[in-house]
Structure 1
């Protein structure tokens, strides 16, 4: 079990996150809060289990404060192999410069988003022509 920061009603607290996997690439993430409540996300690949866990936490007001939950994060490579590195997508990424982070590295709550907001931003980012990175302002609309 490893500690992970969670924002509960805009108050940061540390919870424990347990990661397990099978040889068939089935991952299970179990988040245990300080009061003993547990939440479980499972799926093929770490990213899938991570999204499933977040979808369970969001309705009750819990936000994981980690790089994988950032609004600009997406796992494009290693999604089903259990990789724990996410891409941080920005204007520079449109020009070929890659920024990466470990999925469970700390990220402030202000930079995180819901799964749906994160996926919507990725869809907008993927549809952004590379040349928009040369214009002022946010190229992702």
Structure 2
């Protein structure tokens, strides 16, 4: 089990530390704790889907998580989701061979991150998919 400390930013650039416990030994599970709060658990088909759930939870409190997995230009391929349980994702690029893999739990600058919906829209646009009628899953 890995432990990670990240920041989440809120209105007026206020930042709060958020603790994560990452468990990918059997399936995928993530525990998250913000200051003064209880541990919240998320499970899913892979770590990226767990992170999406945790981010959605934080967004209900007006917070954006500052990690590589919250960037609008980062998304795991199907193979990444299967091979490393969604722990790594690709920086989307139109240039052949330019898409580097990043750990979704590595820190990112607040200026680089977006909401779950903002990421979904960016990924759909990158791949030229229609936004109307699309589900809310990234």
TM (normalized to structure 2)?
0.78
Paired positions, count: 124
Unaligned runs of 5+ in 2: 130-138
SS in 2 for 1:41: strand
Q: Does 1:101 align with 2:102?
A: yes
Structure (1 or 2) with the larger CA radius of gyration = 1
Q: Indicate the residue corresponding to 1:132 in structure 2.
A: none
Report how far residue 71 of structure 1 moved: 0.9
Does the CA-based 8 Å contact 2:4-2:21 persist in structure 1? Answer: yes
Which residue of structure 2 aligns with residue 135 of structure 1? none
**Which residue is 1:131 aligned to?**
none
TM-score (norm 1): 0.77
Aligned equivalents of 1:126, 1:96: Cα separation in 2 = 16
Q: Which runs of 5+ in 1 are unaligned?
A: 129-141
1:124 aligned partner: 125
Q: Is the 8 A contact 2:74 2:89 kept in 1?
A: yes
Distance in structure 1 (CA, Å) of the matches to 2:44 and 2:117: 18
Alignment of 1:1-141 (within 5 A): 1-9=3-11, 10-23=13-26, 25=27, 27-76=28-77, 77-81=79-83, 82-92=85-95, 95-127=96-128
